[in-house]
Copies of this chain bind each other. A is one copy, B any other.
Amino acid sequence: MITVLTGGTGGAKFVDGLAKIVPHQELTCIVNTSDDLIWWGLYVSPDVDSITYVLSGLLNPDRGWGIADDTFQCRGSMGRLGSPTWFSLGDRDLATHLTRTQLLQSGQTHSQVTAEICRRLDITARVLPMTDQRVETLVMTPVGELGFQDYFVRRWFQDPVESVRFAGVDVAKPAPGVLDAIQNADQILLAPSNPVTSIGPILAVAGIRDALRKTKAPIAAVSPIIGGAAISGPAGALMQAVGLPVSIAGVAQAYCDFLDLLIADEADASAAAAFQHPSLRIACAKSILMKTSEQRIALAQAALQMTSDLKPIPHAQEMK
């Protein structure tokens, strides 16, 4: 059993690679939900949707979000009707949000709805929202506190970030199955997602970080950073805002209390060699870029191989 913690487009691309080489019944994805938003009156869960689309073969592979070959007629008409259109929902994509919104309104939880949508799309992997409670990433900037999509999509992550918080996370509980998927995994992988706003919210849900510290499964993360910059998106600015160096050392720092292996790009080989930590190693894959399907599969293969090669390493907590 392989458990993946994931969020964002990098996460979707990584799961895309994994899903092509791992039997889906052996795959569990624990997915960030703190980017969720209400849009046009519908409950949209971008990271859950991307993983769902990956696993059903619907994902637009270039963007890492939305459905391949989708159209945007409804969005055009929403604009004509005076609604904002900066967050883009395709016509086929809309069906997912309509379905989720209906099922949520009928009283089902986020994880029940996600399981139901996966069932309807013949997905045999497990997709688990990190929590059934509402958690919202809020980014403090000089223009005020912005919802994540507002910061990321509407304003093109151009605002300096002063701080980040996850509203509601103090009362959030892991969704059913999440702790179990960490405790009973054979391998745990952290996708090359943004450590602050994609993996960070998952780790902030009570009990999840502790379960990662305690599990016997080897845990590896793929770095979202090459050299001194994020592969894509605002990870650099967000890491800086929370006091992490923008480097593989910064990623290592974010996860060092439970991580066994950080997988970096060959470009960071010297930094990896120089890294010293009692329970965490950094090793390099040939490339961690995922522009093509082949690159995604190669990275997934490398990550699985490197993780299964891990010798048992006492985790930080166990050393005490």
A residues with a Cβ closer than 8 A to B are 40-42, 67, 70-71, 73-78, 80-83, 90-96, 98-99, 101-102, 105, 117, 120-121
Could you tell me the distance between the alpha carbons of A248 and B94 in the complex, rounded to whole angstroms?
46
Residues in B with CB closer than 8 Å to A40 are 98-99, 102
Please name 19 further chain A to chain B contacts, defined as beta carbons within 8 Å, in addition to the given A74-B98, A77-B92, A78-B99, sorted by A numbering.
Answer: A40-B98, A41-B101, A41-B105, A71-B91, A73-B73, A74-B74, A74-B92, A74-B94, A76-B92, A77-B93, A80-B95, A80-B121, A81-B95, A81-B96, A81-B117, A83-B98, A91-B91, A91-B94, A94-B94
Residues in B with CB closer than 8 Å to A101 are 41
Could you tell me the distance between the alpha carbons of A83 and B293 in the complex, rounded to whole angstroms?
32
Q: Are A91 and B117 in contact (CB under 8 A)?
A: no
Min Cβ gap A70→B in Å is 7
Could you tell me the distance between the alpha carbons of A95 and B77 in the complex, rounded to whole angstroms?
6
Residues in B with CB closer than 8 Å to A71 are 71, 73, 91
Task: Please state the number of chain copies in the assembly.
Answer: 2
CB-nearest residue of chain B to A56: B80
Residues in B with CB closer than 8 Å to A96 are 77, 81
Min Cβ gap A105→B in Å is 6
B42, B75, B82, B95: which contacts A78 (Cβ < 8 A)? B95
Tell me what chain A mostly uses at the interface: helix, strand, loop, or mixed.
helix
Could you tell me the distance between the alpha carbons of A284 and B77 in the complex, rounded to whole angstroms?
41
What are 7 residue pairs bridging A and B, where the CB atoms are less than 8 Å apart in the complex?
A: A73-B92, A74-B91, A78-B98, A78-B99, A81-B99, A81-B120, A83-B99
Could you tell me the distance between the alpha carbons of A235 and B75 in the complex, rounded to whole angstroms?
37
Q: What are the nearest 3 A-B pairs in CB distance?
A: A77-B95, A73-B91, A41-B102
Min Cβ gap A77→B in Å is 3
CB-nearest residue of chain B to A103: B41
Could you tell me the distance between the alpha carbons of A145 and B71 in the complex, rounded to whole angstroms?
38
Residues in B with CB closer than 8 Å to A90 are 73
Residues in B with CB closer than 8 Å to A80 are 95, 120-121
Min Cβ gap A95→B in Å is 3
Min Cβ gap A195→B in Å is 33
CB-nearest residue of chain B to A38: B102
Point out which of A83, A92, A101 has the most chain B C-beta atoms below 10 A from its C-beta.
Answer: A92
Residues in B with CB closer than 8 Å to A95 are 74-75, 77-78, 80-81, 83
Min Cβ gap A292→B in Å is 27
Residues in B with CB closer than 8 Å to A82 are 120
Could you tell me the distance between the alpha carbons of A112 and B76 in the complex, rounded to whole angstroms?
23
Could you tell me the distance between the alpha carbons of A102 and B78 in the complex, rounded to whole angstroms?
12
CB-nearest residue of chain B to A76: B92
